[in-house]
Homo-oligomer: A and B are copies of this chain.
Amino acid sequence: WEKVKSAHDAWSGWVCVLLVGVAAGLCAGIIDIGATWMSDLKEGICAEAFWLNREQCCWSVSKVDIDDEYCLQWKTWSEMFGGSRSGAGSYVVTYFLYMVWAILFALLAALFVRVFAPYACGSGIPEIKTILSGFIIRGYLGKWTLLTKSVGMMLAVSAGLSLGKEGPFVHVASCCGNIFSYLFPKYGTNEAKKREILSAASAAGVSVAFGAPIGGVLFSLEEVSYYFPLKTLWRSFFCALAAAFVLRSINPFGNDHLVMFYVEYNEPWYIQELIPFVLIGVLGGLYGSFFIKANIAWCRYRKNSRLGNYPIIEVLVVTFVTALLSYPNQYTRLNTSELIKMLVGRCGPEDDTDLCDYKRNYSSHQMNETYLKSMTSSTVIGDGVYKALWMLALALVFKGIITIFTFGIKIPSGLFIPSMAVGAIMGRMIGIGVEQIVVANHDNPFFENMCESKQFCRITPGLYAMVGAAAALGGVTRMTVSLVVIMFELTGGLQYIVPLMVASMTSKWVGDALGKEGIYDAHIQLNGYPYLDSKEEFTHTTLASDVMRPRCARYGSAVRNDPPLSVITQDSMTVEEVEHVMKSTSHNGFPVIVSRESQYLVGFVLRRDLNLAISNALKLQDGIVYNSIVYFTNHVTENPNDPAPLKLRKIIDMAPVTITDQTPMEMVVEMFRKLGLRQTLVTHKGRLLGILTKKDVLRHIAHLENQDPESILFN
């Protein structure tokens, strides 16, 4: 039996992450299918089977028609209303209905969030980071949040807003993790253990968002998790892989590759190309900093002005503007993922879009190797590409600006895909520029190794788009290794690791030079969550005695008018006195000392436990009155004249973490980070001097960095 129990104990973690992975994969599959169907609903409907999306609708009839954009079974709305497929009238009807559907979806999403689960808005990653650092936000990972976020995300994506599903997927997966952890008492009842499951769940979230299990684990490790226990690395990977496998089996997109933006090309890149890649990295970093500053400024304005009182109206306005401006431009009308996929792709022989309008000298009848080579190599661009470049420039400006206003409105919204889209557009444009420079100067010795002749220059603008996506995403989120790994899992381009790395590195450096924080940290600070960054080094030489409360006078530093420390003595206070201490302060716990005179530390007692114990004792225990002495010791001196004593030894934590007043703050910060402390007691030669909480540490750091410590609100 012992063995069965220990086996159950050992396996419960694996079973739990398996369930979480499967659930995350299922949620992602359902959301993807729903979002695709509803997105298509904006433009038309499948006449014979309304529950099919456009691709399935056309596909169900004849396999040959898949490529054909206009299959007959798929009716646009103007056709449904008896109009024709093309013409100005039809365009206006379709445009109008597109906007109506978009606003309807957005309204529904905003209402859902408002009514069922206010926590379902935003990306959720800042909050999950805070939760994993040890802060508890009740209900943030509950089943209502899960449901609302899932449905709201489908609606928000379908509304065509400039937002992605990726951040919210992490939140959805974490909700699954939280819910399933209650099935296993080992994980459900222990916050630290539960955080292990949540770390694995967030890996699964990224894994299903991008089909990138390894990238997901690294994302969880680098960006989300506060303290990542190595023993859960393998479990996180298992969870991420299970999720990716389930999603792959559902196959919501109907394509063959596990990867999202599979690049089929295997072109080499040249060392000279590192120059434009660095340039792209710089631009990505600049965009990232600009985006963070602008978005935070706008969110702060929303918080502090009346705008914050009308979240639904804000959503509707943003949706209206987005729908109005994005429909006319074919690149913004497209689903953002499809846009990225198109931009990172290569122009093949069968492509006849504007973006691939190159002046080629070979006719398609010469179906031989030279022809194929010519069709995929770089050459002079035609008018179509000029037109495409203009449209892309407009799309870039539009996407870049609307995302600032979109991220933060009260519906589920992720940031990965819009950032990548902005970067990919920029990268593709630079790529085409570089391509034309090389083609025009193909006999320049500097470019010699890239070109065989004027017709055969080997520059791949799609690679630039890929690099640009990485650079912009890196600038916004300041991810590093996980970004590179996600990018190459996303595209399957293992050989492009150096370009991706160069761009994301430059982007991070440029971004960090302009402002230290990534978007998630900035939002954590904006919302005032008690989050102690585990990546920043603490390099100052202050001591614990400079930070603790009450501040010690004799060390000569600025003495504040701190109230004296609220303490409880172990065997000399009455119930009434204890209650008075509790009422006069709002601390979460109180140190217990031997006596007021000696101040030697005995332990620490939590307000919650103390409250409960006293009220229970007053109600249920005979003889306990307000005059009873509260004893925290084993040995109770009973005096027949006194009222019955209240023995509370059981609720006292006899092992509080203590430091001496001479401990350097560097060590204190490290202890807070690594041990996940909320407070520590400061002693001097065994005597209690003061207390040091996480908020004191955060205020101290803000003070040292010349920020106004009072500007950091802690809600």
Contact = CB atoms under 8 A, between A and B. Distances in A.
B231 A485 contact: no
Contacts of A485: 214
A602 B683 CA distance: 10
A662 B650 CA distance: 13
A658 B658 contact: yes
* Chain A interface residue bracket vs B: 35 or more
A481 B234 contact: yes
A600 B495 contact: no
B535 A245 contact: no
A471 interface: no
A497 interface: yes
A663 interface: yes
A233 interface: yes
A230 B237 contact: no
A594 interface: yes
Contact of A670 (B601, B663, B675): B675
Contacts of A230: 221-222, 228, 534-535
A494 B501 contact: no
A34 to B, nearest CB: 27
Nearest to A238: B505
A237 B497 CA distance: 11
Interface in A656-675: 656-660, 662-664, 667, 670-671, 674-675
B481 A537 contact: no
Interface string A109-146: 00000000000000000000000000000000000000
Contacts of A602: 685
A285 interface: no
Contacts of A683: 686
Interface string A196-237: 000000000000000001100100011000001011011001
A489 interface: yes
Given A234-B481, A670-B675, A600 B686 contact: yes
A231 B539 CA distance: 14
Contact of A237 (B481, B544, B662): B481
Contact of A601 (B480, B508, B685): B685
A16 B233 CA distance: 28
A266 to B, nearest CB: 11
A536 B231 CA distance: 8
A467 B663 CA distance: 52
A632 B201 CA distance: 53
Interface in A475-508: 480-481, 484-485, 489, 492, 494-495, 497-498, 501, 505, 508
A654 interface: yes
A230 B536 CA distance: 10
A603 B661 CA distance: 11
A127 to B, nearest CB: 20
A302 interface: no
A652 to B, nearest CB: 10
A678 to B, nearest CB: 14
A241 interface: yes
A573 B508 CA distance: 57
Given A217-B481, A600-B685, A674-B674, 18 more contacts: A214-B214, A214-B481, A221-B233, A222-B230, A231-B536, A231-B537, A233-B481, A238-B505, A241-B497, A494-B494, A594-B685, A601-B685, A603-B660, A655-B667, A656-B660, A657-B659, A658-B660, A675-B675
10 contacts: A233-B481, A237-B480, A237-B481, A237-B501, A600-B687, A601-B685, A654-B660, A654-B662, A654-B663, A674-B675
* Closest A-B pairs by Cβ, 9 of them: A686-B686, A654-B662, A655-B663, A674-B674, A234-B480, A600-B686, A231-B535, A655-B662, A237-B481
